[in-house]
């Protein structure tokens, strides 16, 4: 497990109503979420830099807003892991090992394919988060992390919706 890799750094002084086993499992989930957030952040930023075409300005601006929002979310996820008494991942190697999303080195698709790829990635994150929300609430009895992940899921749903609107526009042309 991801958190077990860093078990030597756990904070045994925490007395927040969760056993170490529960906190460790929550931190593991949070580091998995953090890994996907980083891959999505990098992909969104790459697409922001490389988008072209008639929707350039609109997509360039939207992607910038979204990677800024992802940067804030990344910080919040890392801080939530710290609040559980465990370190947050901080290397590309860790992110790559635990992310479910994949990068596309050397690939710069057309603008609408970029949007479709980002929608797909957000939807993958949303599906992952739905499972993690249930796991943290039902199995770990960590309602704080479950609630936190629910809010994060809602952010991804909104970002996916905004991107999806561009695809709908293209289908109606």
- Give the pLDDT confidence score for residue 168 in this predicted structure: 85
Residues ≥6 apart with Cβ < 8 Å to 106: none
How confident is the model over 150-171, as pLDDT tens digits?
Answer: 999 999 999 999 999 988 865 5
Q: Using pLDDT thresholds of 50, 70 and 90, give the confidence band for residue 16.
A: low
Nearest to 84 by CA among 169, 158, 7, 166: 7
CATH class as words, domain 19-171:
mainly alpha
Counting DSSP H helices and E strands in the chain, the numbers are: 6, 0
Give the chain's largest Cα–Cα span.
60
How far apart are alpha carbons 14 and 27 in whole angstroms? 14
- Provide mean pLDDT across the span 22-34: 95
Q: How many CB atoms lie within 10 A of CB 165?
A: 11
**35-47 pLDDT, tens digit each:** 999 999 999 999 9
């Amino acid at each position: 497990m991801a958190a077990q890799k860093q078990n030597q750094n756990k904070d045994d002084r925490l007395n927040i109503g969760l056993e170490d086993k529960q906190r460790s499992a929550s931190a593991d989930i949070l580091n998995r979420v953090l890994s996907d957030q980083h891959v999505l952040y990098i992909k969104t930023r790459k697409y922001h830099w490389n988008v072209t075409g008639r929707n350039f300005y609109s997509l360039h601006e939207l992607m910038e807003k979204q990677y800024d929002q992802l940067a804030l979310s990344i910080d919040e996820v890392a801080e939530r892991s710290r609040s559980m008494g465990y370190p947050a991942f901080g290397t590309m190697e860790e992110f790559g090992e635990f992310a479910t999303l994949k990068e596309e080195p050397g690939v710069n698709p057309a603008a609408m394919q970029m949007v479709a790829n980002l929608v797909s990635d957000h939807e993958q994150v949303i599906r992952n988060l739905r499972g993690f929300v249930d796991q943290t609430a039902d199995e770990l009895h960590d309602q704080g992390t479950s609630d936190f992940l629910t809010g994060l899921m809602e952010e991804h749903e909104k970002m996916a919706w905004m991107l999806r609107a561009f695809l709908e526009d293209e289908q109606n042309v």
